[in-house]
Amino acid sequence: MERLNKLKELFQPVFDELGIVLYEMKWINDHEHTLQVAIMKEDGSMDLDTCADVSERLSELLDEADPISEEYTLEVCSPGAEREIKDLNELDHMAGSYIHVKLAKPFKSMNEITGELISSENGIVKMSYRDKAATRTAEVNKEDITFARMAVRI
């Protein structure tokens, strides 16, 4: 864990310069030892050119500082279209996003809701969701959300 924290410190100036947010960094011990760095832009989006640019810059930093003694592969990627929303306070700035939430207390007998986030303020998350042919609105307490992720609209 300490090694990852030192790498985060090393990488942070690049992230700051490019307006990048570190979503997650971890070691993957598959057939190769891989340092996976999942990033996104401040607005939550990501594109291939930005991943390539960040990968190149981080590679240069790693070559200069040489903080990793064993062989490894660097993988810079996006968190994915259905990334987990780890901090529910992110919802306060995500109006218009399509999300999926799991609830501790059912809302109209539903334990999960997928729909468009209308707002998140004062601890209340308001979503628009489809119920058969009708569009409905759900209001749930943020504290009742046990899991949230981005969703892909089909």
**CA 130, chain centre distance (Å):** 25
Nearest to 14 by CA among 72, 70, 42, 55: 55
Would you place residue 154 in the very low, low, confident or very high pLDDT band (cuts 50, 70, 90)?
Answer: confident
Burial 101-128 (b: 16+ CB within 10 A, else e): bebeeebeeeeebbbbbeebeeeebbbe
Q: Encode pLDDT of 55-66 as tens digits.
A: 999 999 999 998
**Predicted structure pTM score:** 0.80
pLDDT in tens, 64-89: 998 888 899 999 999 998 999 999 99
Q: Within the chain, where are the H helices? A: 2-18, 48-65
What local confidence, expressed as pLDDT, does residue 60 receive? Answer: 95
Which SS3 state, helix, strand or coil, does residue 146 take?
A: strand
CA distance 74 to 27: 10
124 versus 29: the higher-pLDDT residue is 124
